[in-house]
């Protein structure tokens, strides 16, 4: 899509409707017929992309479901366009309340739906108690990958996702774990334990 390609290439600050039109091979009037400004254009596109549903097969366990989800999200965040657009929009959101609100609403709603789906499955299997907080679960599930890809921008070790899935499942209380220390759950190659909440 021309908007995403141009946004990845130049960033929001230098994005222009004229450049998007050139990339799309249309006149700028065609763009203006749909959007009144670049802000409106970017907000609609970002909302649409962020709201896309993810295929989440039921693996039979929360840990398995988490590993599949983490693989899907990691693949998406590694995409060339996403790896350029997400950090740029996060920086722009600090300066632009409309972008901040759109990102929060679009991303949070979709991620919360995913969290509820995984938790409902886990509750149905007897892995988690009813009433497990979906917002806390989403933070545990999605937060580490956004940190690695969008903030720290460091590659993932080969075994990172399975270890992270195990740590998240334990942190949510699968198997009755209350406050267990999971060695090397987050810091690769180290011996730092992560105290998981009750």
Domain of residue 70, CATH code: 1.10.357.10
Tell me what pLDDT residue 188 has.
41
The answer to whether residue 71 sits within a structural domain is: yes
Please indicate, yes or no, whether residues 31 and 105 belong to a single structural domain of this protein.
Answer: no
Please indicate, yes or no, whether residues 41 and 129 belong to a single structural domain of this protein.
Answer: no
Please indicate, yes or no, whether residues 121 and 157 belong to a single structural domain of this protein.
Answer: yes
The answer to whether residue 155 sits within a structural domain is: yes
Number of domains in the chain: 2
The answer to whether residue 33 sits within a structural domain is: yes
Please indicate, yes or no, whether residues 157 and 64 belong to a single structural domain of this protein.
Answer: yes
Is residue 194 over pLDDT 70? no
Please indicate, yes or no, whether residues 36 and 23 belong to a single structural domain of this protein.
Answer: yes
Please indicate, yes or no, whether residues 1 and 14 belong to a single structural domain of this protein.
Answer: yes
Q: Would you put residue 175 in left (φ > 0), alpha (ψ -120 to 50) or beta? A: left
Tell me which residue range forms the domain holding 29. 1-50
Is residue 70 very low, low, confident or very high in pLDDT (cuts 50, 70, 90)? very high
Please indicate, yes or no, whether residues 84 and 112 belong to a single structural domain of this protein.
Answer: yes
Domain of residue 23, CATH code: 1.10.10.60
Please indicate, yes or no, whether residues 99 and 8 belong to a single structural domain of this protein.
Answer: no
pTM for the full model?
A: 0.75
Is residue 18 over pLDDT 80? yes
Residue with tokens 């991303």, as numbered in its chain: 107
Tell me what pLDDT residue 122 has.
94
Please indicate, yes or no, whether residues 80 and 28 belong to a single structural domain of this protein.
Answer: no
Report how far residue 157's alpha carbon sits from residue 16's, in angstroms, rounded to the nearest whole number: 38
Tell me what pLDDT residue 175 has.
66
Tell me what pLDDT residue 176 has.
56
Please indicate, yes or no, whether residues 44 and 118 belong to a single structural domain of this protein.
Answer: no
The answer to whether residue 182 sits within a structural domain is: no
Please indicate, yes or no, whether residues 16 and 83 belong to a single structural domain of this protein.
Answer: no
Please indicate, yes or no, whether residues 22 and 85 belong to a single structural domain of this protein.
Answer: no
Tell me what pLDDT residue 192 has.
33
The answer to whether residue 196 sits within a structural domain is: no
**Section 56-67 average pLDDT:** 93
Is residue 71 very low, low, confident or very high in pLDDT (cuts 50, 70, 90)? very high
The answer to whether residue 170 sits within a structural domain is: no
The answer to whether residue 43 sits within a structural domain is: yes
Residue range 80-137, pLDDT digits in tens: 888 888 889 888 989 999 889 888 887 777 888 888 899 999 999 999 988 888 888 8
Residue range 155-186, pLDDT digits in tens: 888 899 999 999 999 999 886 543 343 334 44
């Amino acid at each position: 899509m021309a908007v995403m390609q141009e946004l990845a290439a130049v960033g929001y600050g230098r994005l222009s409707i004229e450049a998007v039109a050139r990339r799309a091979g249309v006149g700028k009037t065609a763009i203006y017929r749909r959007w009144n400004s670049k802000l409106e254009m970017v907000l609609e596109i970002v909302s649409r992309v962020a709201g896309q549903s993810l295929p989440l097969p039921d693996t039979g366990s929360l840990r398995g479901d988490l590993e599949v989800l983490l693989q899907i999200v990691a693949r998406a965040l590694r995409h060339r366009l996403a790896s350029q657009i997400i950090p740029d929009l996060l920086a722009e959101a600090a300066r632009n309340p409309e972008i901040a609100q759109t990102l929060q609403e679009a991303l949070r709603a979709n991620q919360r739906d995913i969290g509820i789906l995984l938790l409902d499955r886990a509750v149905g299997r007897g892995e988690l108690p009813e009433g497990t907080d979906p917002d806390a679960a989403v933070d545990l599930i999605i937060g580490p990958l956004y940190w690695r890809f969008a903030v720290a921008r460091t590659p993932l070790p080969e075994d990172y996702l399975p270890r992270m899935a195990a740590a998240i499942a334990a942190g949510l209380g699968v198997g009755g774990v209350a406050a267990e220390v999971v060695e090397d759950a987050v810091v690769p190659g180290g011996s730092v334990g992560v105290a998981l909440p009750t």
